[in-house]
Amino acid sequence: MKTIFVPFVVLALVGCQGARGITKEDSRSEVAASSTTVTSAEVSAPSHSAPKAGRGQAPSVDASKLRVAEGKAGLDPETGYLHILGTVTNETGSPVESVKVTLDLFDASGAPIDVSGWHKVAQQEAHAGDKEHARGEVYYLLPGESTPYHYIRDPAKMKGKYARHTLTVSALPGGSRPPTARIDGPTTQKVEGGFDEVTLKGTFVVGASPCRSPKAFFGFYEGERLVALVSPHKNALDDHFQKSVAAGTKIPFQGKSFPHAPAGATVRAFGGCDNWISE
């Protein structure tokens, strides 16, 4: 993963990647909010890359070694949408998968905020619990690797006005050869006359196992604080959607988006695989 300097001010956030299974919204997030981080372990059935049933139960992941760097959080002043961003780093010493950030929302008085919507029904059907959560955009993480997360919610679905949140983080064991990827040579360039549109490019490199539905994410950071997260639109990776790409394959890509980041922000590029969908 490489870090590069972004010497321009970008004024709009469009096409952000939300939590897995949550509708993406175009918006501009401006207002920061306080938060508290708590960690707790999650023990549940392993996926295909962890030990299978009948071959011994998979150990739980030590959530204290899933390091969370909270990012921008707050209500968009124009749309009112709530955005909570951050990054989780795998410091367990072993591969992990299915990073989950569970959120509790509170109003200014400290009262919890309930959230309604179709996603609640989907969570119940998937036995995923009732609490709000965001999934790590990069599903599989080797030791030392990170994933961004981005929670987005419509204020019309929130039974209260957001003031702060707490969170817990969890993950599952990832097995010995999880499908992973990286982005080589990530660059960003402002489009002339493009109303703050930015070209995002790089080379997607598949790891030691085949990668299904390769994806690229560009996170804009102030220090360790994630302030914007986007993916390039209409790029070469789209041709491999729901397809398996062989280990070691290199795919140059280029696409455009409208990230929102202050001058001096740095960029970290993430490569992800969606092999979990076919389980």
pLDDT band at 194 (very low <50, low <70, confident <90, very high): low
- DSSP letters for 153-168: E-GGGBSS---EEEEE
Instruction: Please check whether the two domains, 3-16+178-278 and 34-173, share a CATH topology.
Output: yes
Its CATH class, for the domain covering 34-173, is mainly beta
Better pLDDT: 40 or 126: 126
Residue 275 binned pLDDT confidence (cut-offs 50, 70, 90): confident
DSSP string, 81-145: -EEEEEEEEE-SSS-EEEEEEEEEEE-TTS-B--B-SHHHHHHHHTT--SSEEEE-SS-EE-TT-
pLDDT higher than 90, residue 176: no
Separation CA 6–CA 258 (nearest Å): 13
Domain 3-16+178-278 bears CATH identifier 2.60.40:
yes
User: Is the separation of the CB atoms in 272 and 181 below 8 Å?
Assistant: yes
**pTM (two decimals):** 0.76
* pLDDT one-digit tens code per residue, 61-107: 999 999 999 999 998 877 789 999 999 999 999 999 999 999 999 99
Query: Which pLDDT value is given to residue 46?
Result: 33
pLDDT at 117 over 70: no
Q: Where are the domains of the chain?
A: 3-16+178-278, 34-173
For 1-33, the pLDDT digits (tens) are: 544 444 433 333 333 334 343 333 333 333 333
Least confident segment among 114-118, 134-138, 258-262: 114-118
